[in-house]
Amino acid sequence: MKMIVTKFGGSSLADAAQFIKVRDIIHMDHERKYIVPSAPGKRGPGDDKITDLLYACHEAAQKGKAFRHLLERIRSRYEEISDELEIPFDLNSEFSVIEEALKNGASRDYAASRGEYLNGKMLSRFLDIPFVDAADVVLFNREGRLMEEETNTRIANCLRNLPRAIIPGFYGADVDGNIRTFSRGGSDVSGALVARAVNADVYENWTDVTGFRMADPRIVPDAQYIATITYRELRELSYMGAGVLHEDAVFPVRKAGIPTNIRNTNDPKHPGTMIRANAGQDDPAHVITGIAGHKGFCIVSIEKDMMNAELGFGRRVLQAFEEYNINFEHLPTGIDTMCVVVHQKELASHREEVIRRICELVDPDQVTVHENLALIATVGRGMVRNFGTAARLFTAISSQGISIRTIDQGSSELNIIVGVDESDFEEAVKAIYDTFVRI
């Protein structure tokens, strides 16, 4: 029998109307056995996320300030949902426990987790599906790192005799029983952990967007949706800024070979984007799968004659960055030139020290910093062994009068990364999209 794990984001459970949509989605397919809810998100512009209000409660409590007014705002949101849906739920006792815990110095993680905890309990009552507290099955170590294999065993054992269950996302508990949370957006990770533990056929991630698009719709408003994408392609696009799915959520389901389906709660009939371990015989609609990029980079260019003959030259250059805790992004090089691409903000506070250290370590002929760079990744399994892809991409950009500052392509041929001036970023993305998609 097929099994589906469904995760619903904060926008999917923001109010009573959204709860009803979630119920209808679950009833549409009885193979949706396990549900992972987030805390209520914003109902519209100017509204607050429950998690943000809970963080504010904790901050006020830590400073010895009054926080009951904030807690009452949170409570009113849940009361509004429970009253409208006629859910029998004792909010008095739940909020008494939370208030007392905050007064007694409960952790920031505990405060934040209560949004998912309460939403999970309400959804459990609304759907008449058993509730499983994530603190009982998602395990962290004392340093706050997920213990994935132990968590997998706990979830599997717990759900073995539960044909259906609600397991709230975002949090768990450490080995001492203290509540721990993932980073923001971590309900994606929780859903993936449940999917892996029950060996689901599909992990559905329901949100307020209809899957991934081939380019940022703020730049290309009519960008097409991606029907199928591989986890490797997703990783490349997410790294460069395509942010529909929490990046860490890829790994538990990818490891188990479980496909992830990104769906829209407000458009449940749309198939969304399916993410697979590999596309098999799938023939992509276009040579490229997607385009993503970021501004805010700079290039540190180190020039020295015959540097290629110096053993350890590259290692010593990177040592200068490592000493100041600066990560490099890319290393485009030539025979007598080595370029290190880094985040401009990371370099800014140590710029002179890093340059001085490079000079001490490798005695270069010249060190130059080129700022205000944007990186654009063009990603696609269809690029592999597709002759002329790079030429088409470079021609598309140059035809708009845009200079390419740096080029980087891995041997996998899965992506091509180019650097352009920040002022040319949007036009370069449009040019690439037009060339590969509007054909």
> Any idea where the domains of the chain sit in the sequence?
4-276, 290-436
Rounded Cα distance, 191 and 9, in Å: 10
Q: Give the pLDDT band (50/70/90) at residue 403.
A: very high
Q: 68, 100 in Cβ contact below 8 A?
A: no
Tell me what percent of the chain is helix, strand and coil, each rounded to the nearest 5.
40, 20, 35
Predicted confidence at residue 242, as pLDDT, reads: 62
Of 273, 129, 282, nearest to 206 by C-alpha is: 273
> How high is the pLDDT of residue 235?
80
Residue 135, φ and ψ in degrees, nearest 5: -65, -20
Band of residue 243 on the pLDDT scale cut at 50, 70, 90? low
d(CA 186, CA 169): 7
pLDDT at 89 over 80: yes
379-386 mean pLDDT? 82
For the residues 372-388, what does the mean pLDDT come to? Answer: 87
Give the pLDDT confidence score for residue 2 in this predicted structure. Answer: 83
Q: Tell me the C-alpha distance between 73 and 55, whole Å.
A: 13
Among 233-242, 347-356, 400-409, whose mean pLDDT is lowest? 233-242
Residues 187 and 40: their CA atoms lie apart, in Å, by 12
Summary mean pLDDT of the chain: 92
Question: Based on the number of CB atoms within 10 Å of its own CB, is 227 exposed (0-12), middle (13-18) or buried (19 or more)?
Answer: middle
pLDDT in tens, 292-321: 999 999 999 999 999 988 999 999 999 999
What pLDDT, on the 0 to 100 scale, is given for residue 19? 97
For the chain, give the longest Cα–Cα distance.
77
Q: Which CATH superfamily is domain 4-276 in?
A: Acetylglutamate kinase-like (3.40.1160.10)
Could you give the angle at the alpha carbon of 31 between the alpha carbons of 283 and 189, nearest 5°? 70
Whole-number Cα distances in Å, 293 to 260, 418, 425, 432: 23, 9, 8, 12
| DSSP of 242-281 | --SS-GGGHHHHHHHT--EEEEETTSTTS--EEEES--TT
Question: How would you list the strands of the sheet with 139-140, edge to edge?
Answer: 139-140, 171-174, 179-181
Q: Angle at CA 266, nearest 5°, toward 264 and 268?
A: 60
List Cβ neighbours of 311 (8 Å cut-off, separation of 6 or more). none
Among candidate residues 157, 91, 155, the one with its CA nearest the CA of residue 122 = 91
- By three-state DSSP, how is residue 318 classified? helix
| Total length of the chain | 439
The predicted model gives 127-154 an average pLDDT of 96
* CATH number belonging to the domain at 290-436, selected among 3.90.850.10, 3.30.2130.10, 3.30.429.10, 3.30.70.260: 3.30.2130.10
Look up residue 243 and give its amino acid: G
User: If you average pLDDT over residues 54-70, what whole number do you get?
Assistant: 96
How are beta strands 171-174 and 139-140 bridged, if at all? parallel
Q: Which pLDDT belongs to residue 301?
A: 95
Give the whole-angstrom CA distance, residue 331 versus residue 12: 41
Encode pLDDT of 185-215 as tens digits.
Answer: 678 889 999 999 999 999 999 999 888 899 9
- Mean pLDDT along residues 7-14: 95
Bridge partners of 409, per DSSP, are 416
* Nearest Cα to Cα of residue 115 among 3, 226, 265, 14: 14
The reported pTM is: 0.85
Q: Which helix (H) or strand (E) holds 110?
A: helix 108-127
Nearest C-alpha neighbor of 397 from the set 428, 370, 371, 422 = 428
* Separation of alpha carbons 158 and 8, rounded Å: 21
Highest mean predicted confidence (pLDDT) among 43-57, 231-245, 403-417? 43-57
148-159 helix and 187-197 helix, angle to the nearest 10 degrees: 60
Listed residue (28, 32, 35, 36) closest to 1, CA to CA: 32
Sequence-distant (≥ 6) Cβ neighbours of residue 18 within 8 angstroms: 11, 12, 265
Enumerate the H helices of 160-305 as residue ranges.
187-197, 231-239, 250-256
Task: Find out whether 187 and 134 touch, Cβ atoms under 8 Å.
Answer: no
For strands 337-343 and 328-330, give the pairing: antiparallel
Q: Would the CA dihedral through 165, 169, 174, 179 be positive or negative?
A: negative
